[in-house]
Chains A and B, each alone.
Chain A
Amino acid sequence: MQNLRRIIRAGLINFKRSSTVSLAAVLVMTVMLCVFVGLIFLQAVLTYSLDQVKNQVDVTVYFDLDVPESQISNLKKTIDNLSGVATTVYVSAEETLANFKERHKDDYLTLQALEELGENPLGAQINIKANEVSQYEAIANFLEKETVLVKGEASIINKIDYHQNKQVIDRLSALIKNARNLGLLVIGIFVLISAIIVFNTIRLAIYIARDEVKVMRLVGASRRYISGPFIIEGIIYGFLATILTMVIFYPVSFWLGSRMTNFLGLDMYRYYLTNFFEIFLIILVASLVLTIFSSLFAILRYINK
């Protein structure tokens, strides 16, 4: 306990006395964390955009005209229980007709033809949204199995529009997958570059103190006692850089929110405030892991000499 207190005190004093080196390390660390938060924002925009595109996709099951509502309701329950199904919405025959009329309100001929029929030619529908675009095929295949859909001997389903949209859905599915992979790759590369820069900055800070480390060894200080203050310094770099980054991103996200929401599709200011603690924790943990690892690695090199 006494040693820990001394190590923490020594770390704080070293940080203060090597102010130029400390400032440089904190600034480099801050730049790295800004890149990191920028990538979190980018990923959020990408995910949001992809979700928006995904929400445009669904599969609609069209029922025959005379299918009782109770039977459709049973089928809806079965579909709800399928893995991969996010939501199902039942649209009655009347609602289908109303929607049709609304869609064709400017199409006089169609509406007149509908009038002349005298009865509702449209059946009920179920709109199905899947969790992932890739899951629509499995859902459509399930629905096409006769055993699930029989009304006595005949099928109650008039049409499932999956196969008409299959090509678009497949393309979209591939696009989303590629966009995600590309996003992760870009993030990975930037994080790696930033981590190497921070790692070398901390190594440089410890390199400057290498003679001091040698003297400490010669006066009988243990490895832990020597390396402890350097690790504390690293923790201070990480902590201060985290706070600085969070402060910097407050006005940045405000500006993005007020000026760029239409372009990005997502209000970054709201996103930042909503996820403030998660972002804080992510960059704090990332910076601490990096600084502690860098300090340990660098100090071990000189301590073993």
Chain B
Amino acid sequence: MRRVVAVDARVRAGLWALSLLLVLAGPTQVIGAGASDDDDNGTGAKFSPQAAATFNGRCTACHTYGNGIKVGPDLKGVTERRKRAWLLKFIHGSSGVIQSGDPTATALFAQFKQQRMPDWVDLSDQQINDILDYIAIGGPDIRPADERNAATATAAETENGRRLFYGERQTKYGAQACVTCHSVRGAGLRGGSLGPDLTGVYLRYQDPALTLFLRHSCFSWQTQLPQEHYLTAKESFALKAFLRTSAMPAGQNSNAAGNLSLQKEVRSDGK
């Protein structure tokens, strides 16, 4: 009888332990869940990476973007100066458009010393439209989102950075939260101590160097990947913004309070 009671007590203890485990395991986050849907091209703007590559490969030999005439006209604002249908026709076969007596094409032909643009017959309408979209949203002037000065971050972006730092939000590619190895002011015991404390890292590195640093993973095995997927540009920027806030003396942590110094930083960076 005593044996039955003992077994019963053991079973009960086991069930208690199991329930405790289930309660604790309940809110387990799935890695990757809640990952941000931001772009991979690191610009913050939506465009096809192939369009940028094609633009660089085929257009920049004769055209500039915002730097004046090279062999052909400056392409900055071309999507506003010309109609999309005309541009499609001209890029596909400029010689045909000139021969058809199109006044714009004829005038350009005369203006640019009768230099004809190659007929890009191998490009599909979709590819040309992608290039034109790329030009329309800023072309080569598009700067990667993480190159923005952290001083211009909104409160929401800084909060996003805080959540990424503490692992409350998962990164798009499952990079481990900074708090695993690092700490910042206010992290307490939650912060890891394998790596250095990052409280003053923004002031030590300054904005551009920290941008470059955040583009690489902390552990070198990830850099061996052919295409590095560590943080997206927006995540990188958000983390930089949070680290900037952490580096600010207490009382200057809010964006509003730090505005004066932010403006100074932006002006000194020229961004």
Same complex origin of A and B: no
A residues sitting closer than 8 Å to B (CB atoms) are: none
B residues sitting closer than 8 Å to A (CB atoms) are: none
